[in-house]
């Protein structure tokens, strides 16, 4: 699953199975997608208990959205006991199944591996990963051997290209993280 900056990975993490839903094998999904309804378009998902090293493919029977939650039914998962064995697994989708983007949009994985620089050109480090949550997405940047977390908000993200992420950070943010 290694990639270099500017390349599109073969598979992308789209969520994690959080708990069973009911007795018929459905599962609640903690979705990383900005638009959870994207799950309704996926024909197949890969499940992995260990960050993608060992993946098992499942056909999607159906997916429905309840607020930010996705209720997912996978082919072959027909009862609560089977669903419970899948809880905690990461969901991956092939990049060919990702929905098309609107103008100005990008996928968060596109930032990973790029050099982070300030608006004035100062090297900040390399973006190692993007952490997602309900409240705030964060860039994890390797800054002078330490991991620095930077909120991924429009006010801080100036631009990005094939190799760099340009950030406008408030004074003291790097020092707070150090």
Which two three-digit tokens encode residue 29? 């999904």
* Helix boundaries (H) for the chain: 80-86, 173-177
Range with top average pLDDT, 52-56, 80-84, 104-108, 166-170: 80-84
pLDDT-derived band at 163, boundaries 50, 70, 90: very high
Average pLDDT over residues 15-30: 95
**Residue 2 reports pLDDT greater than 50:** no
pLDDT (0 to 100) of residue 116: 95
Architecture, CATH, for domain 110-177:
Roll (2.30)
What are the DSSP E strand ranges found in the chain? 11-21, 26-31, 44-48, 56-66, 69-74, 90-94, 115-118, 123-131, 138-143, 146-151, 157-160, 164-167
Q: Among residues of the chain, what percentage have pLDDT more than 90?
A: 51
Cite the residue boundaries of each domain of the chain with CATH code 2.40.30.60: 11-95
- Name the region of 149 (left: φ>0; alpha: ψ -120 to 50; beta: rest): beta
pLDDT (0 to 100) of residue 76: 96
Q: What does residue 82 show for φ and ψ, rounded to 5 degrees? A: -65, -45
Hey, which residues does 12 pair with through a beta bridge?
93
Report pTM.
0.67
Sign of the alpha-carbon torsion through 55, 41, 97, 151: negative
Cite the residue boundaries of each domain of the chain with CATH code 2.30.30.240: 110-177
CATH superfamily for 11-95 is: RimM (2.40.30.60)
d(CA 127, CA 129): 6
pLDDT-derived band at 94, boundaries 50, 70, 90: confident
pLDDT (0 to 100) of residue 70: 96
163 Cβ contact list (under 8 Å, min separation 6):
5, 6, 114, 115
pLDDT (0 to 100) of residue 53: 67
**Residue 1 reports pLDDT greater than 50:** no
């Amino acid at each position: 699953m290694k990639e270099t900056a500017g390349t599109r990975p073969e598979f992308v993490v789209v969520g994690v199975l959080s708990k069973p839903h009911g007795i018929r094998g459905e599962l609640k999904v903690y979705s990383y997608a900005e638009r959870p309804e994207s799950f309704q378009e996926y024909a197949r998902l890969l499940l992995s208990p260990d960050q993608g090293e060992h993946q098992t493919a499942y056909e999607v029977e159906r997916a429905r959205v309840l607020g930010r939650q996705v209720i997912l039914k996978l082919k072959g998962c027909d009862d609560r006991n089977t669903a419970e064995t899948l809880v905690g697994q990461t969901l991956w989708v092939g990049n060919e199944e990702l929905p098309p983007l609107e103008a100005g949009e990008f996928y968060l994985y596109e930032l990973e591996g790029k050099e982070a620089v300030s608006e004035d050109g100062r090297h900040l480090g390399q973006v190692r990963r993007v952490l997602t949550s309900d409240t705030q997405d964060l860039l994890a940047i390797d800054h002078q051997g330490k991991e620095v977390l930077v909120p991924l908000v429009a006010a801080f993200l100036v631009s990005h290209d094939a190799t760099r992420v340009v950030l406008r950070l408030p004074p003291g943010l790097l020092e707070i993280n150090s």
